[in-house]
Amino acid sequence: MARSALTITAATFTATAALLLTACGGGGDDSAPDDIEGAGAGASSSAPSASASSSTPPGVERPVIKLPGSFQLTFEDWTSSDAQQQAVLNDAKEELRAGYAAIIANDPDSAAVAFYDTDSGRSQSKKWIKSYTDKNVTVIGKLPVFDPRVTVLDGGTTASLGYCTDESEAYTKHRKTGKVEGNPADMDPEVYYLVTLRKSSQGVWQNASVRSERGECAK
């Protein structure tokens, strides 16, 4: 369930970042399940119900991200006392939510994902989303996102974000057959991600690239 790895070539980034099944963050307490509305059994194959994130920052109008109850994406300690770092965390969270919402809605061309990605980031995200939709599978279960660590660079225009995910209770489900699959028993369920973000002219922190390493989360 891991997000496709992309080698980061920018010399300024020394930290490292991956997403769900075959698919990380650090700061305050935001461990409640992410905006979940109604989708019961079988809802993973249909468009998710609407609910805006409670942590969506003010300013430019952000898209409403939708997730069903069949997939619980939680963000643990996803806060910072630094306002700039918090802005990075807020937008990175919404990009991740948008990506999974696109997988569940079977929508590789999601406008919400495009809003939170640069052109290069959008290309990588679409490839990741299609790795599910091309196989006619969706995602179900629970995916905690935790231990975020943010560094803001280049005078506040670039940032790196490292975080971890735990895929122990995250699964893929085939839309037609209903077959559910998880990671092999001998595979480390924790994946470390390093995300490079750029601040847009509108002040939105957009994903430029994502790199992942399974089993590299700090203990």
Query: CA 170 to CA 166: how far, in whole Å?
Result: 8
* DSSP code for 43: G
Q: Determine the Cα–Cα distance for residues 20 and 35; give it in Å rounded to an integer.
A: 18
Bridge partners of 58, per DSSP, are none
- The per-residue pLDDT for range 148-190, each reduced to its tens digit, is 999 999 999 999 999 999 999 999 999 999 999 999 999 999 9
pLDDT tens for 70-121 read 999 999 999 999 999 999 999 999 999 999 999 999 999 999 999 999 999 9
Set out the domains of the chain in order of their start, with CATH numbers.
Answer: 43-57+65-214 (3.10.450.50)
φ, ψ (nearest 5 deg) of residue 79: -140, 160
- Given this model, what pLDDT does residue 32 score? 38
pLDDT score recorded for residue 18: 32
Burial 16-41 (b: 16+ CB within 10 A, else e): bbbbbbebbbbbeebeeebbbeebee
Q: Is a pLDDT exceeding 50 seen at residue 9?
A: no
The model's pTM is 0.78
Residue 115 is predicted with a pLDDT of 98
